[in-house]
Amino acid sequence: MAMAFSEITFTPSVKAAQNLYGSREKNRRFETAEEARNVLTTEEAEFIAERDSFYQATVSETGWPYVQHRGGPKGFLKVLDGHTLGFADFRGNVQYLSVGNLNANNKIALILMDYANRRRLKVWGKVRIVHENESPELLSQLEVPSYRGRVERGILIRVEAYDWNCPQHITPRYSNPEVEGIIAPLLAEIEELKSRLATFAHSP
């Protein structure tokens, strides 16, 4: 059994590049793996639920790729089941490059980053665009009540493959909440020391 992502990405030209640079044998292991990695497990679901952004790639009719950053509250990208991701598509700059590309070619690739822990999940899928007049119940599943962005449509992604990347070359970065969580114990310790010093200063 091959990992699903290798069946999608290991084209003849990719294999030729692997041969040229000496990594063809190393990459054969992805083609003989025991796990296909095309059904999301609890590990992937928990990782996705903690993300507040991701990068998505689409391709136009002219063959040009377009990479877009998508952000929202933590967990706005939802795991609906082991085969399906979905998110509410909020109104943006109204250029509709990604949506237009997906109307012509429904293939999509996502990269989800956890910079703090140097983890990266890649997902390949096929998209179905959903509008409220077509399926209001489904769109309501994707909405984020705490976020005030205007929802224009829902994006459903049928997961075809996923893979975890190694941490090499990922520079750690931290969000404001992550930084606050790191320094909170230090601030508490400082306040405790200040309190002790004040007590000591006023003691006879």
165 and 153 within one domain = yes
pTM score > 0.85 for this model? Answer: yes
pLDDT for 65 equals 97
Which token pair is 99? 């949506």
Digit-by-digit pLDDT tens for the chain (204 residues) are 799 999 999 999 999 999 999 999 999 999 999 899 999 999 999 999 999 999 999 999 999 999 999 998 899 999 999 999 999 998 888 899 999 999 999 999 999 999 999 999 999 999 999 998 888 888 888 888 887 777 889 999 999 999 998 888 999 898 888 899 889 999 889 988 888 888 877 666
93 and 193 within one domain = no
183 and 128 within one domain = no
Order of strands, sheet of 78-81, starting from the edge strand that comes earlier in the sequence: 65-71, 53-59, 107-114, 119-130, 151-165, 84-90, 78-81
Half-sphere exposure of 39 (CA within 13 A, CB side): 3
86 φ, ψ to 5°? Answer: -155, 150
pLDDT for 203 equals 65
Q: In which domain, by residue range, is 44 found?
A: 38-173
CATH code, domain with 45: 2.30.110.10
Angular region, 96: left φ>0, alpha ψ -120 to 50, beta rest: left
pLDDT for 199 equals 81
pLDDT for 185 equals 92
Helix (H) or strand (E) holding 160: strand 151-165
151 and 84 within one domain = yes
202 and 157 within one domain = no
191 and 121 within one domain = no
90 and 69 within one domain = yes
